[in-house]
Amino acid sequence: MPRTFPVSLAEAFPSVAATWHPTRNGSLTPDRVGTGGPMMWWLCPAGHEWEETVISRRSLPKWKAGDVAACKECVGFKTRRVFPGCGCVKTVRIGTREAEHARCYACRTREFEENAPRVKVELSAAAKAAAGRAGELLGAVRLPDGMPEGLAVEWRYWAAKHLQYAIAGEQVLGKAGETSRSLERVTVAAERAVPSLEACAAAALRDGVLNIFGRAYWAEGWWYALGGETRPPLTGEQLAVLSASFLGALEGWAEHWPEEQPAPVTTAEVTRALTEEVRECLQCAMGEGARVYAEVRVPVVPDGKGRYGRVDLLGWRPEGFPPFVVEIDSRPNPSSVRKLTFARDAGAVPVWVRFGSGPVEDIDGVAVVDARALVHPLTARG
């Protein structure tokens, strides 16, 4: 039977072929497999045997030190270990956390899956109980000079969750040293938390958002907060045209709401429906290459709040196109006003879509879209 590969393992890598296990690969031999073959068994001259794919076996990572046929155990890269907790014999990399566990990874995973519901409950309870201890540890961390208080609050909130679950992991799962490792990670995160103007500029060009503590932040908003220059705001006439454009799109949306489709009734349902429609309007208005994000954070702490606020929608497009910041509210909301005026000052196009109850006030430099008359008939139908 003709072979289906251009060159065999024996021809291309004779030294690797010499470590082919003579009895555990069935009828296959090095001259009957190519250089990209499947998982096979290998045997080194010292008697170490293991499973590995052909392509991995004939690769040349640093630990092989130029010898493509090297054995991980012979060179001291890995060692064979008997796990005392389960009795399994596995080859593990020296100096890694896997080499410290009482049970092998497969046994730990199987046990966790079998007991997952109970373990999750125990972890959650232990994490809540660890709040005081986590607070003490975080209180000893020195935050960088000049770190904005809002960002410090965000860090404490994020770091406390990590640290609480690390403490719980030690108590429930027996993860030795997890608390100290987590404390080190959150301390490093604090040192690197405040973005530079260069990082803000790069993110503003790349996709419009910064990742801080695993959350998306408006990049140009941070650029402005750190002292960067901004675009001039839109004129009153431009804002009026923009408001009318949004209102026209929403009129079409309300007019063509299918009679057979249940109308949104609750405030949450109306907000979701309007948000989806405004998202589509933004995507269409900003054109090809635009991205529209939901619930992006801005470096603004609204009055009466302790943490940074989030905007309902952020529209971004490359090539110097101004971003859109949209808030959608069923009633007057001072927090939204605070975020929208910040967006205006930062050079974005702020849009406030209002429906529901309460007066609709004009805000200097903000496109206010009064959708109360459009939404009321839909809710009345419900």
Domain co-membership, 274 together with 356: yes
Contact 351, 326 (CB under 8 A): yes
Reading phi first (left if > 0) and then psi (alpha if -120 to 50, else beta), residue 344 is in alpha
218: in domain: no
- Same structural domain, 368 and 312: yes
Model confidence at 316, in pLDDT bands (50, 70, 90)? very high
Q: What is the mean pLDDT of residues 270-277?
A: 88
Confidence band, pLDDT 50/70/90 cuts, at residue 81: confident
Q: Are residues 372 and 242 in the same domain?
A: yes
Note whether residue 271 is domain-resident: yes
Among 57, 76, 95, the domain boundary falls at: 76
Sheet of 310-316, strands arranged across: 209-212, 215-218, 291-297, 310-316, 324-329, 349-354, 367-370
pLDDT value for 338: 94
In this structure, is residue 209 part of a structural domain? no
Q: Is position 119 within any domain?
A: yes
Residue 339 lies in a domain: yes
For residue 25, give the DSSP letter: S
- Asked if residue 313 is part of any domain, the answer here is yes
The alpha carbon of 374 is separated from its chain's Cα centroid by a whole number of angstroms, namely 37
**Pair 61, 145 in one domain:** no
Q: Say whether pLDDT at 261 is over 70.
A: no
Confidence of residue 1 (pLDDT cuts 50, 70, 90): very low
CB burial of 5-42 (b: ≥16 within 10 Å; e: otherwise) equals eeebbbeebeebbebbeeeebeeeebeebbbebeebbb
- pLDDT tens digits along 165-179: 999 999 988 888 999
Whether the predicted pLDDT of 2 surpasses 80? no
When pLDDT is averaged across residues 88-93 and rounded to a whole number, the result is 87
To which residue do tokens 């008697």 refer?
Answer: 47
CATH number (domain holding residue 329): 3.40.1350
Q: What is the mean pLDDT of residues 11-23?
A: 95
Number of domains forming the structure of the chain? 3
Does 156 lie in the same domain as 244?
no
Mean pLDDT of the chain: 89
Shared domain for 25 and 158, answered yes or no, is: no
Asked whether residue 337 falls in the same domain as residue 274, the answer is yes
Listed range (99-108, 111-120, 158-167, 252-261) with the worst mean pLDDT: 252-261
69 and 141 in a single domain? The answer is no
Does the pLDDT value for residue 245 go beyond 80? yes
Domain boundary among 23, 57, 76: 76
E strands along 261-379, which residues?
291-297, 310-316, 324-329, 349-354, 367-370
Residue 302 has pLDDT above 80, yes or no: yes
CA distances from 28 to 4, 25, 69, 256, 258 (A): 14, 6, 19, 67, 65
When pLDDT is cut at 50, 70 and 90, the band that residue 150 belongs to is very high
Which residues are CB-contacts of 272 (< 8 A; sequence separation ≥ 6)?
Answer: 264
296 and 159 inside one domain: no
**Confidence at 304, pLDDT banded by 50, 70, 90:** confident
pTM beyond 0.75: the answer is no
- The CA–CA distances, whole Å, from 347 to 68, 80, 98, 267, 363 equal 58, 61, 51, 31, 15
* Rounded percentage of the chain residues whose pLDDT exceeds 70: 95
Domain that holds residue 139: 115-191
297 & 376 share domain = yes
The reply to whether 106 falls in a domain is: no
Instruction: Give the least confident one: 135-139, 141-145, 207-211, 257-261.
Output: 257-261
Taking residue 309's Cβ as centre, other Cβ atoms within 10 Å add up to 18
Residue 147 lies in a domain: yes
Statement to judge: residues 65 and 147 lie in one domain:
no
* Residue 244 shares a structural domain with residue 375: yes
Mean local confidence (pLDDT), 50-76: 92
